[in-house]
Chain A
Amino acid sequence: MAAHRLSPSLNRLLFTLKNGSFHSRCCAVQSTASYSSSSSSEKTFDKILIANRGEIACRVIKTCRKMGIKSVAVHSDVDSSAVHVKMADEAFCVGPAPTSKSYLNMDAIMDAVRSTGAQAVHPGYGFLSENKEFARRLAAEGVTFIGPDTHAIQAMGDKIESKLIAKAAQVNTIPGFDGVVETAEDAVKIAQEIGYPVMIKASAGGGGKGMRIAWNDEETREGFRFSSQEAASSFGDDRLLIEKYIDNPRHIEIQVLADKHGNALWLNERECSIQRRNQKVVEEAPSTFLDPETRRAMGEQAVQLAMAVDYSSAGTVEFLVDSKKNFYFLEMNTRLQVEHPITECITGLDLVEQMIRVAKGYQLLHKQEDIPINGWAIESRVYAEDPYKSFGLPSIGRLSQYQEPVNLSNVRVDSGIQEGSDISIYYDPMISKLVTYGSTRAEALARMEDALDNYVIRGVTHNIPLLREIITHPRFISGDISTNFLPEVYPDGFKGHQLDVEKRRELLASAAALYITAQLRSQEVLGSLRVSSVPVKCSKWELCAELGDGCYTVDVTKSANVFTVEVDGGKVEVSGEWNLAATLLPVTINGTDRTLQCLSRDASGRIVLQFLGTSFQVRILSKLAARLNAFMPEKVAEDTSSILRSPMPGTVVAVSVKPGDTVAEGQEICVIEAMKMQNSLTAAKQAKVKSVHCRPGETVGEGDLLVELE
């Protein structure tokens, strides 16, 4: 299917290669992130300061290195040994952990610019990337801001103004209220005028923060309150606006690139419909949904908008696309986007390099017809979060083991952490962006599956189970997606991979093989012994495996490294190296190669295996142990309906109850802010409050007791 798309673009590729404008596309997807370079003789800057942290700082530094530019990292005190700090040529501490005191601290960053003599600043995304004041201050000191002019930042940064400009530039827009909403009651009135559902969002916002959907008056009031708080804490600007909420839309965005000479290009689209709580999870380029005409129409409107504000640098115009391929302008992000790598993969351009060139005042090297769609790229955002709690609540911890699947071909991992790094409550919990690339979508998807299976992340809860389920879901594979994909596919919340009979057999067989390997190894005592050892000679085992509520008889025979397992009415043959220390467990199950991960193994037979992305706990017992285990009492679990524990680490923002209060089921008890998101915790039943164990402003860990009910 994708082949016909590929051939014209290959022609373009050849054309451009002839002109020597960029290297082979493959470069862009190497793990070491060697991007195509344009013209090495161009002089740009000697030193660039990157006013950001994490993966995007590392990403920018890589291009700086390639272009022979010295890089300066800024960091908070807790980030002093972070990867971006180590990668940069110089580093400058800009304050304590909270972002408002470090990465958002303009005075400190200006100090860093002055004292390191950086000629330009790349802001990455988030933080100060769309802050016009920052751009203005840099300009005032003669330092180049690698991004658009303040005028464009201001015009596009304000959602209300941007919509007016878009309308004037003949870009399709969503019906809504073109003004600032002052109070909750205002919000309700406006919402009623537009008609439900409505979207309440921060005027200054982006990235899903400070955004709520309301279906009725009460939700509008609540949404107004949350959004304004979040907006205030995230952007220091609590202005909100309201617009019609388009149900079941796709989120497709166009990458634009413009120079300071009136040239602008659209670099095709990115499909970003897979979202949870308005934050993107899986992105791909191109979109399965767009036909060339729609793509061109969207691209041209995006360029019109860019021209209308004299845009320069890389930017993204976001559209909502309904099922009839009508598209509406949503907003323009005047910065490098998180998901820019997939565009780089299919176009072969290094966007950071282009941004730097444009900032220096060079003209664009390409014409619109030079921009190809080569193959297909998928990006999974790997987060430190628990996907079993509303598709992802932040988790924190130390990456005790961490291994990126960069040994696989056509896999690119953009990350800013390494083994031993801490994922803290202060910053975005993103671990990395995992990008795979293929000549077809199917190829890219197959690689993504493989890459996710080979990704080792220990010490923090991560969302790989969810990512792997998404990219293997029939609806996703067929391209039938919308921004409601997750709630529609998992109406009762995400529960991990659901094993069918065959997969269950495979899992149980692998666990049994691992168990026997460990048992046999226990007998391998080396050296000369005073009292000789009498190992149990055995080549056949009768075992029981417990998985969930099920209990299965497992009969195993072993010859060399091959285990033949009879379980649950079927026969499975598993072979592998069975290294008990390795993080990855490559096995062949009935002829199919799979990569499992053994997450833990204990003396009482419990083996936790990551299988098909999801981790499953299997308990393997000998037949005897299983028989005796039947006599063991069930340990009564804690009654959780009367206690409220923090579902994630964060800060207590508000406690709405005090001991003695009676709360109704579903009533808000307290609000926890984590990673800049406010989460309302509610009572699971109607009860009297027995005790309150938290205070506003306090930092709490996951599972900490907050409130007890009677």
Chain B
Amino acid sequence: MMAAFAVTRGTSGLLHGLRASFRGFAQVKRGNVAAAAAVAPTSRRRDCRWYCVSNLSVRERIDTKRRAALVGGGQSRIDAQHKRGKLTARERVELLLDPDSFVESDMFVEHRCSDFGMEQDRNKFPGDSVVTGRGRINGRLVYVFSQDFTVFGGSLSGAHAQKICKIMDQAMTVGAPVIGLNDSGGARIQEGVESLAGYADIFLRNVMASGVVPQISLIMGPCAGGAVYSPALTDFTFMVKDTSYLFITGPDVVKSVTNEDVTQEELGGAKTHTSVSGVAHHAFEDDVEALLNVREFFNFLPLSNQDAAPVRESHDPSDRLVPALDTIVPFESTKAYDMLDIIHATVDERDFFEIMPNYAKNIVVGFARMNGRTVGIVGNQPKVASGCLDINSSVKGARFVRFCDAFNIPIITFVDVPGFLPGTAQEYGGIIRHGAKLLYAFAEATVPKITVITRKAYGGAYDVMSSKHLRGDVNYAWPTAEVAVMGAKGAVQIIFRGKDNQAEAEAEYVEKFANPFPAAVRGFVDDIIEPSSTRKRICRDLEVLASKTQKNPWKKHANIPL
């Protein structure tokens, strides 16, 4: 409360004049583990703790401290941050949250390190290297921390960790999401093990909060070493292109250990993590875009696991028919189409926030709304690798499904899957174990589950993709659906091995199995529907399923095949 009034003022401009007068700054080298060199001596005045002179009132000291906190590491470092195309911690918070909604906490916290000259006044910064507090995004409550690279390279001190832990604890108490804006060189080396303890405190809270409140990490600068595990534990990790890096060890260490030559960008840049490693869920062009997109993304999420998926006013009629869907599936079952076309046409206002759009592209996951209500969408993508399930797509899908289930977000699954990808690479990589994750995730999910089979639903992959057998609430098939153990050619080769007239047998098989009837007559799909009516039906079903209650047996926790 107390802090609120100071923060809402403009930050930099107002304070320019003050900078030079009240203290000199230690030269902090930027870079990865910056803090090591943080206390290089300077030639500036050292007796600058003028505001402690006893004739100054407490009031003045409060004001001075607040002003100091607002400029973080000082104007020259703010300029340097801007020059790198990055915003400061406070600018980021201001842009992320609704105007005037930020309520800061722990503005007066300072680090407690007394080694290596850190105890000197010029090495103390009110608030230390992180800005924390709560605020609102489109009116909805959120807790935020934003690491301040201008103070000791954003390095994590005991005090820094303590501030983060405090707001995380508060977020858990009231049930509101936590957004972390990461921009940190790593551990505060001067503090040694205290810094490590700080990390662990945060990790523990990340784990405790997991599945209770949504946690989002936005990587806006370096994030290396142990620090990477906090984002990894959160629900979503977003990155900023060209300015953010995530890695366990930097290129120098990599060179000395494995003799690999690799740049920061190649090792842990946004492109790497959104397309190769699957560590990050999305990348944005720059800080401003990233923050504005996180605002948009936040709208999809409930505040906690006690809340239903949010429902927003929708301008898109829930009974809108989509004639374009009637012709979207090509006649030749070998021909690809874009599952995103189906998703865009079905959801409200063609608005789909895709998660991991560049990783394991044979499965599409993301958030959308149906009649205003947030839903999670999972779809096989026939355009990429025929939409087969492999290790990466299974893991991508599983994690997404589990998030939706944890936060009461209904899951809509569009199925066109020819099966699991065969091959030694997949088997050696453990497709059995990883494929089981997706199966597990769909099976344990108790949120409303609606499934639409658009074309192929073959073999074990049919079972996995939110089938009726895994407690699907409503399972539809389009007239083009084929629910079968495998495609006609393969099936005929097994059933009629060594026999002639294979072509005839194949035709018979197609007639018998390559259509939705075998599944429909057994009740494995609830109805065969006109594709154009898909949106209308899903909206209607969700209305009913809003009151769905389903409980899994009591357990300490389940044992997903990790």
B323→A525 contact, CB < 8 A: no
Residues A525 and B91 in contact in the complex (CB < 8 Å), given A531-B174, A536-B99, A633-B242: no
Chain A nearest Cβ from B346, distance in angstroms: 12
Q: CA of A539 to CA of B236 in the docked complex: distance in angstroms?
A: 34
B331 touches A (CB below 8 Å): yes
Among B16-24, B300-308, B393-401, B453-461, which stretch is in contact with chain A?
Answer: B300-308
A420→B138 contact, CB < 8 A: no
A442 touches B (CB below 8 Å): no
Q: Residues of A contacting B136 with CB < 8 Å?
A: 533-534, 536
Chain A nearest Cβ from B12, distance in angstroms: 10
A254 touches B (CB below 8 Å): no
Q: Residues of B contacting A80 with CB < 8 Å?
A: 331
Q: CA of A605 to CA of B349 in the docked complex: distance in angstroms?
A: 16
Q: Residues of A contacting B175 with CB < 8 Å?
A: 530-531
Residue in A closest to B315 when the chains form the complex, CB atoms: A581
B313→A524 contact, CB < 8 A: yes
A368 touches B (CB below 8 Å): no
Residue in B closest to A82 when the chains form the complex, CB atoms: B327
A1 touches B (CB below 8 Å): no
Q: Residues of A contacting B307 with CB < 8 Å?
A: 529-531
A535→B85 contact, CB < 8 A: no
Among B182-190, B282-290, B482-490, B501-509, which stretch is in contact with chain A?
Answer: B282-290
Q: Residues of B contacting A605 with CB < 8 Å?
A: 292
B293 touches A (CB below 8 Å): yes
A560 touches B (CB below 8 Å): no
B303→A603 contact, CB < 8 A: no
Q: CA of A624 to CA of B291 in the docked complex: distance in angstroms?
A: 12
A400→B341 contact, CB < 8 A: yes
A401 touches B (CB below 8 Å): yes
Q: Residues of B contacting A524 with CB < 8 Å?
A: 312-313
B314 touches A (CB below 8 Å): yes
Residues A535 and B138 in contact in the complex (CB < 8 Å), given A400-B341, A522-B299: yes
A628→B176 contact, CB < 8 A: no
Q: Residues of A contacting B98 with CB < 8 Å?
A: 534, 536
Residue in A closest to B296 when the chains form the complex, CB atoms: A603
Q: CA of A174 to CA of B323 in the docked complex: distance in angstroms?
A: 51
B95→A534 contact, CB < 8 A: no
Residues A631 and B82 in contact in the complex (CB < 8 Å), given A77-B331, A419-B323, A625-B292: yes
A604→B289 contact, CB < 8 A: yes
B87→A628 contact, CB < 8 A: yes
Q: CA of A414 to CA of B446 in the docked complex: distance in angstroms?
A: 51
A420→B324 contact, CB < 8 A: yes
Chain B contributes a number of interface residues (CB within 8 A of A) equal to 59
B138→A523 contact, CB < 8 A: yes
Residue in B closest to A535 when the chains form the complex, CB atoms: B139
Q: Residues of A contacting B285 with CB < 8 Å?
A: 632, 635
B310 touches A (CB below 8 Å): yes
A525→B140 contact, CB < 8 A: yes
Residues A631 and B85 in contact in the complex (CB < 8 Å), given A521-B312, A525-B312: yes
A603→B292 contact, CB < 8 A: yes
A-B CB contacts (within 8 Å), total count = 130
Checking B101, B288, B296 against A632 with a beta-carbon cut-off of 8 angstroms, the contacting residue is B288
A625→B288 contact, CB < 8 A: yes
Checking A400, A420, A624 against B95 with a beta-carbon cut-off of 8 angstroms, the contacting residue is A624
Checking B287, B296, B304, B326 against A420 with a beta-carbon cut-off of 8 angstroms, the contacting residue is B326
Residues A521 and B313 in contact in the complex (CB < 8 Å), given A534-B136, A631-B85: yes
Checking A81, A420, A530, A633 against B286 with a beta-carbon cut-off of 8 angstroms, the contacting residue is A633
B288→A604 contact, CB < 8 A: yes
A418 touches B (CB below 8 Å): yes
Among A617-639, those with CB < 8 Å from B are: 621-622, 624-625, 628-629, 631-633, 635
A501 touches B (CB below 8 Å): no
Q: Is the interface of A mostly helix, strand, loop or mixed?
A: loop
Q: Residues of A contacting B325 with CB < 8 Å?
A: 420
B313→A530 contact, CB < 8 A: no
0/1 interface trace, chain A 392-421, chain B, CB 8 Å (1 if under): 000000111110000000000000001111
A603→B295 contact, CB < 8 A: yes
Residues A582 and B315 in contact in the complex (CB < 8 Å), given A533-B140, A603-B292, A603-B295: yes
Most interface-central of B289, B314, B327 (chain A CB within 10 A): B327
Q: Residues of B contacting A632 with CB < 8 Å?
A: 85, 285-288
0/1 interface trace, chain B 129-140, chain A, CB 8 Å (1 if under): 000000010111
A474 touches B (CB below 8 Å): no
A140 touches B (CB below 8 Å): no
Chain A nearest Cβ from B358, distance in angstroms: 17
Q: CA of A525 to CA of B338 in the docked complex: distance in angstroms?
A: 32
Residue in A closest to B332 when the chains form the complex, CB atoms: A77
Residues A526 and B311 in contact in the complex (CB < 8 Å), given A400-B324, A536-B139, A628-B288: yes
B372 touches A (CB below 8 Å): yes
Checking A401, A536, A580, A635 against B315 with a beta-carbon cut-off of 8 angstroms, the contacting residue is A580
Residues A81 and B327 in contact in the complex (CB < 8 Å), given A525-B140, A536-B99, A604-B288: yes
Residues A530 and B306 in contact in the complex (CB < 8 Å), given A81-B327, A631-B87: yes
Q: CA of A398 to CA of B338 in the docked complex: distance in angstroms?
A: 10
Q: CA of A622 to CA of B292 in the docked complex: distance in angstroms?
A: 11
0/1 interface trace, chain B 313-336, chain A, CB 8 Å (1 if under): 111110000011111100110000
A569 touches B (CB below 8 Å): no
Chain A nearest Cβ from B534, distance in angstroms: 13
0/1 interface trace, chain A 578-600, chain B, CB 8 Å (1 if under): 01111000000000000000000
Q: Residues of A contacting B328 with CB < 8 Å?
A: 398, 420
13 A-B pairs in the complex with CB atoms less than 8 angstroms apart? A81-B327, A400-B344, A420-B326, A522-B138, A525-B138, A526-B312, A527-B308, A581-B349, A625-B292, A628-B95, A631-B85, A632-B85, A632-B287
A81-B331, A603-B293, A621-B288 known, 18 other contacts, Cβ within 8 Å? A418-B323, A521-B313, A522-B138, A523-B138, A524-B313, A525-B140, A526-B311, A527-B311, A529-B307, A530-B307, A533-B136, A536-B98, A580-B315, A581-B316, A624-B99, A628-B87, A628-B287, A632-B288
Top 3 nearest A-B pairs (CB, nearest first) are A420-B324, A603-B296, A633-B85
